[in-house]
């Protein structure tokens, strides 16, 4: 499938992309500051170029058109409803449900630092709310083994947390 514009051949578009992709990328990054958004914006700017009937007088004219188009596109992205209401994941408060006990990201971090056999069993039991019998079937162990791992995992987690998160 060819994506020729009315004025440019595929070869001309490829050369233009090679010549200006870095410039457009850098400009987008200055405005958007997020590599994923930047890549989307670069793609959009070059799609606008492909669809544009603009005939450039020279390379400087082409560069100026791309810079203005890139700036305007980035400003549109920043004004977009989705962008203005988006929150960075690392700014969200840590929320963990833990059977009504104190929710804390600290609990999850400590849980993830436990040995695999305790971590898996505790996670399946408390976060996914499987029964001991269901966990035993999933992991191919006896129910007594799962109960022991739950007991030992709780004990280690309690010691790691230094409190009474799990009773």
Residue boundaries of the structural domains of the chain: 7-96, 102-161
Given a contact cutoff of 8 angstroms between Cβ atoms, the answer to whether 107 and 98 are in contact is yes
Q: Give the model confidence (pLDDT) of 59-86 as tens digits.
A: 889 999 999 999 999 999 988 877 777 7
User: What is the pLDDT confidence band of residue 22, given thresholds at 50, 70 and 90?
Assistant: very high
Angle at the Cα of 145 from the Cα atoms of 144 and 151, rounded to 5 degrees: 90
- Picking from 17-21, 24-28, 29-33, 108-112, which range would have the lowest pLDDT averaged per residue? 108-112
Fold classification of 102-161 is: Arc Repressor Mutant, subunit A (1.10.10)
20 vs 50, 89, 103, 152, CA distance in Å?
A: 14, 32, 50, 60
**11 Cβ contact list (under 8 Å, min separation 6):** none
Assessment of whether the complete model's pTM goes beyond 0.75: no
What CATH number has the domain spanning 7-96?
Answer: 1.10.1740
Torsional class of 162: left (φ above 0), alpha (ψ -120 to 50), beta (otherwise): left
- Tell me whether residue 35 is exposed, middle or buried, using C-beta atoms within 10 angstroms of its C-beta: 0 to 12, 13 to 18, 19 or more: exposed
């Amino acid at each position: 499938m060819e994506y020729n514009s009315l004025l440019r051949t595929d070869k001309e578009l490829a050369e233009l992309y090679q010549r200006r992709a870095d410039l457009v990328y850098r400009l987008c990054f200055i405005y958007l500051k997020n590599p994923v958004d930047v890549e989307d914006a670069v793609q959009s700017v070059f799609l606008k170029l492909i669809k544009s009937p603009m005939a450039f007088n020279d390379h400087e004219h082409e560069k100026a058109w791309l810079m203005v188009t890139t700036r305007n596109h980035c400003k549109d992205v920043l004004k977009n409803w989705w962008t203005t209401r988006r929150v960075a994941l690392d700014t969200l408060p840590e929320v963990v449900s833990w059977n009504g006990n104190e929710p804390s990201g600290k609990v999850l971090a400590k849980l993830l630092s436990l040995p695999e056999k305790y971590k898996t069993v505790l996670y399946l039991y408390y976060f996914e709310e499987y029964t001991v019998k269901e966990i035993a079937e999933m992991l191919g162990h006896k129910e007594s083994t799962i109960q022991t791992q739950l007991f030992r995992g709780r004990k280690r987690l309690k010691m790691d947390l230094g409190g009474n998160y799990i009773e």
